[in-house]
Every structure is written in structure tokens, then in C-alpha cells.
Homo-oligomer: A and B are copies of this chain.
Amino acid sequence: MTAVLPALTDTRELVLPALRAAVNRLDDRTRLVAAYHLGWCDEHGVPIEANGGKAVRPALALLAAEAAGGPRESAVPGAVAVELVHNFSLVHDDLMDRDLERRHRATVWALWGDATAVLAGDAMLSLAHEVLADSRSPFLAEASAVLATATRELIRGQVQDLAFERRDDVGLTECVDMASAKTGALLGASAAIGAVLAGADTTTVRGLATYGEQVGLAFQLVDDLLGIWGRPEVTGKPVASDLRSRKKTLPITWAIQNGGDDGTDLALWLRRDAALEPDDHELRKVAGLVERAGGRTWARDEAWRRVTRAAEALAPLRLRDDCRRRLLDLATFVVERDA
């Protein structure tokens, strides 16, 4: 991370102690695995200087609570819960996708095997609801429903993602639907849960949910752009990592569908024998193909269109002015980030 929004640093101070307390409830083994995955220690349990990820979801939860007129503190259980659900899905997705590394570190299944990854993910998902229940919030039912619905969407998105890998006719609409489920739903839930726990009315909760969903889609579009054109020294990923794994991301799907001859060439390249590992020269050529086909410009524009829709969703709501400003800054940050 080069750029960190100030809001995100504040979030960590409020949320991290509660997240640690929650993880401490787990049995010794699962606690170690979760702490490792969360970047708090190495695989032997020795504490390390944590980068800790972007913590966008907890930041959204706290900010939404404040925007709705509540204290940030009321949203802490929700912030912990969405971060746990996010990390449950990362651990299980890494296993399903057989990804060996995340943020320069071995993934849980790669280090400890499949069973440990299954159990650590399960534990974090269950812990998310335990934290919510223990909050004894008068708005628990709605908060828990928001979290569970988003988890159902996450799962639906991953089911689609895995099915798409076996198809070469996936259209943009399906692809956007999948990204909405995999990324939009939990960011929407993060904003919604913060507002719910602050006692906001239904209109405010729905508006903030839409804001979060749109920011989530912008987030995914930028992730897809960074997966092709991100600077390896900043993202920590290899050059054109998504092209290397022949991932059919949003800009690529758009380029194939709308990019004329360049799009057709791109589709042909993606269908080629995946066993042939492309070199950096070839990857740069393919990235050029996506760019000429218009995929890069479309994705960038689409990310900004989503940010605009997020802003629109906030417009009719009665929110604290300084918080509205920070919500918009957060949306902008999501598009402008370079890692």
C-alpha cells in the first residue's frame, strides 16, 4: 500500500482490539492459523509487523454508523464481523482456487493443508455471528440478516466464478453479476451493518447499502485493472498476474465482447493451451491487445460511473455532512489506489 486514507488508520485502532479478542476465543491451533492469515504473526506464532490489508470493510461500517448519526463505537461488532466474513472467504477461496500466495505469504492451505484451511475459514465465519450476538445490540436481528444475506451472495458469486472457469462464452452481464456478488455484496453489507447498528431508518440503510455495493464494483474493476497494468513493486503481484492465469476479468470480458478484431485475438489467446506459460514479453503484447480493444478505458470509466452511482445513492439521505464527504473520499480512494 502506498496510499492509505486517514480514515482507515483510525479504523484499525478501534477495530483491531475487538478483532483480536474475538480470534482469541478460538482453540490454540485455529487461533494461530487465523492470526497468521490476518498478518499478525508468522506460521510459528511469532508476532510480525503487520500490514494488515486495507481494512476497507471495517472502515465503511464505522463511517456509515457515524454518517447515520450514531457513535462509531456502535458499529465495532459489525466492523469485526464483516472483516471476519471477508477473511473466511479469502481462506476458502485460496483453497478452492489453489492459490499459493496472498500478499507475498504462503496461503493457509499451502502451508497447513486443506483441512486446516476449511476449519479456519469455518471458524471465522461462525465467529462473525458470535461477535454480533455478543454485542447484544437491539438491532442484532437486522445486522445478522444483513451479514448472512451478504455471505449467501459471496457464495453464489464464488459458485459462478468456478463455473465460469469451465466456460468460454461468459458475457459481460453475467460477469458483472458475479463481481457484484463476490465484491459488491459484502461492501454493501459493511455500510449497511454500520447504519443498522447505529439505529438508522430503512431508507438510510438501503441507501448506504447501494453506495457500498457500487463502491464494491468500482473496487473490483480497479482490482482487475491492477491485475493487468499494476506496477509489481507496488501491488506485490507479478507483471500482468491476471493475464498469466488467463483470468476472464471484467475488462477482458468487455474487450472480447466489444473490441472487434483485437477482442477476437484476445479470445483466441485465452483459449490457447494453458499449460504454455507466457513470458513477460507475450503478456505485455496481450495487455496491449486488451488496451487497443478498449477494455482498459471501459473499466476505468465504469469504475468512475460506479462511484458516481454511489454518490447518487447518498444524495437523498440525511447524513452528517463531514461523513458524506469522507464516504465520497473513500469511494474516490478505491478508484485512485495503485495497490
List residues of A whose CB falls within 8 A of some B CB.
25-27, 29-30, 88, 92, 95-96, 114-115, 118-119, 121-123, 125-127, 129-130, 132-134, 136, 140-142, 144-145, 147-149, 151-152, 155-156, 158-159, 162-163
Given A119-B155, A119-B159, A122-B125, A141:B145 Cβ within 8 A: no
- Do residues A29 and B159 form an inter-chain contact, with CB atoms below 8 A? yes
Chain A: interface secondary structure? helix
Chain B, residue nearest A115 (CB):
B96
| 21 A-B residue pairings within 8 Å (CB atoms) | A25-B152, A26-B152, A26-B156, A27-B156, A29-B159, A30-B156, A30-B159, A95-B118, A96-B115, A114-B114, A122-B155, A123-B155, A126-B152, A130-B144, A130-B145, A130-B148, A130-B152, A133-B141, A133-B144, A133-B145, A133-B148
CB distance from A115 to the nearest CB of B (A): 4
Q: How many copies does the complex hold?
A: 2
Which single residue of chain B is at the shortest CB-CB distance from A152? B126
Given known contacts A96-B115, A125-B126, is B155 in contact with A30 (CB within 8 Å)? yes
Question: With A and B bound together, what is the CA distance between A13 and B114 in angstroms?
Answer: 38
Which of B118, B133, B141, B148 meets A92, CB within 8 Å?
B118
Please report the C-alpha to C-alpha distance between residue A226 and residue B84 in the assembled complex, in whole angstroms: 39
Nearest B residue (CB) for A123 = B155
Task: Name the residue on B nearest A89 (C-beta).
Answer: B122
Q: Flag if B123 contacts A144 (CB, 8 Å).
A: no
Rounded to whole angstroms, the CA-CA distance of A16 and B145 in the bound complex is 21
